Structure 1
Amino acid sequence: MRLGFFTGRNGQPSTSLSWSVRLKIVKGAARGLAYLHECSPRKFVHGDVKPSNILLDNEFQSYISDFGLNRLINITGNNPDSSSGGFIGGLPYKSIQTERTNSYRAPEARVPGNRATQKWDVYSFGVVLLELLTGKSPELSPTTSTSMEILDLVRWVRKGFEEEKPLSDMVDPMLLQEVHAKKEVLAVFQVALACTEADPEIRPRMKTVSDNLERIGS
């Protein structure tokens, strides 16, 4: 299954995942991205990290999918508007072009002509972390109760921490049932905030992100 099933169309969780399961998912995904960045011969950039590109098996082990499809589509000249799927390396895929959103892209990735970097993946992964933590979709543009200002998920969370709002105001209500997880949830929030820094030079490497997540709950 794809991790994209986590949030529904209204930004509310469409299924209940315990904190231990969510932590297992993000740790596995982080290890996969760190491997692409650090251990692959060319130190690849995924370029399209989002929940629907994180596959889960029956044990909720994570697998990074759709790696390199942007490059493949450009090479083959396939219609970018096609919503058809297919197989690469024996694995089924859906065209990444079917999800037209900038919600997971780093600010610099939204500028036409900029070359993809590994720090793009780090930012995108940070947005995925925030989605799992808050139970909100980054496409929802949450608003504050005292302002009509429209914020994306990253800015909404940052604003919450700047205003020292209670963690309960930002975290997915499903997680509040697990009192023991509060410190771990806060630690993952800190990792996510580091990943979503506006300046790519400040963002950590994916290997550092993975190492920090592995220490949480261990």
Structure 2
Amino acid sequence: MITGRSGQPSTSSLSWSTRLRIAKGTARGLAYLHECSPRKFVHGNVKPSNILLDNGFQPHISDFGLNRLISITGNNPSSGGFIGGALPYLQSVQAERTNNYRAPEARVPGSRPMQKWDVYSFGVVLLELLTGKSPELSPTTSTSVEVPDLVRWVRKGFEDENPLSDMVDPVLLQEVQAKKEVIAVFHVALACTEADPEIRPRMKTVSENLERVGT
């Protein structure tokens, strides 16, 4: 679950329009890093606690992790990035385990950083915003059977054609006009979290698709 500055759960206090604004802003930032920065960067550590929010809930990508920014050529830049000084942080209730946000291929020791890693991680963040659930906490089905992770849980829900109410944060269901937008963002998140990196879209495409939601 995503929390605010106090450390108490606060995802449910965020309206759909605010969550969509956070998603769109974060996607734009990552697309810039990938496409428009002087070097084509890989962030390498995309997760909620590395997204800063200003007072208008505009996101700023921060904390480039122990490896800082990683270029796809293998060089580390001396500076750069979106460092937002505003609070609150978006954080998980528990200490985040980076592996929960890493793409499957990123978990292989010695693997070369790819921009598609960031796409996958961003997809997991989207699923958090949509479901109000954290990847660290195994969601449960209606039969209380634990499933491996949030990504697989959501995928199974769509494959089984479960009602949207079984997966989405209940607070969002109060905003009737948002249901179509929520489904659209779910599909973006599912595309981002494809197991095969070749199937995942580029971050620029993800950003463009999100910008069309709600317009």
> TM above 0.5, one fold?
yes
- In 2 relative to 1, CA 53–147 (structure 1 residues): closer, same or farther, beyond 3 Å? same
- Partner deviation per Cα, 1:164-195 (whole Å, 9 max, x = no partner): 00001100011011000000000000000000
How far residue 204 of structure 1 moved from its aligned partner, in angstroms, is: 0.1
Residue 141 of structure 1 and its aligned partner are, at CA, apart by 1.2
Q: What are structure 1's unaligned runs of at least 5 residues?
A: 76-87
Separation (CA, whole Å) in 1 of partners of 2:133 and 2:125: 10
Q: Compute the TM-score of the two structures, normalised by the length of structure 1.
A: 0.82
Residues 1:28 and 2:25 are matched in the alignment: yes
Unaligned runs of 5+ in 2: 70-74, 76-80, 90-94
Q: RMSD between aligned alpha carbons?
A: 2.9
| C-alpha distance in structure 2 between counterparts of 1:139 and 1:90, whole Å | 26
Across the two proteins, how many residue pairs are aligned to each other? 198
Q: 1:46 aligns with which of 40, 43, 47?
A: 43
Instruction: Choose from 209, 212, 215 the match for 1:212.
Output: 209
TM-score normalised per structure 2: 0.83
Percent of pairs with identical residues = 78
Distance verdict in 2 for CA 1:70–1:30, change over 3 Å: same
Structure 1 segments of 4+ aligned residues over 6 angstroms from their partners: 88-92
Name the counterpart of 1:203: 200
Paired with 1:53 and 1:209, the residues of 2 have a C-alpha distance of 19
1:206: how far off? 0.1
Residues 82-115 of structure 1, C-alpha deviations (whole Å, 9 max, x = no match):
xxxxxx99877x9xxx744311010011111101
Give the aligned partner of residue 122 of structure 2.
125
- CA–CA separation in structure 2 for the residues paired with 1:91 and 1:167: 34
User: What letter matches 2:211 in structure 1?
Assistant: E
**d(CA) in 1 for partners of 2:168, 2:97:** 26
Contact kept in structure 2, 1:13 and 1:136, CA below 8 Å:
no
Equivalent in the alignment of 1:170: 167
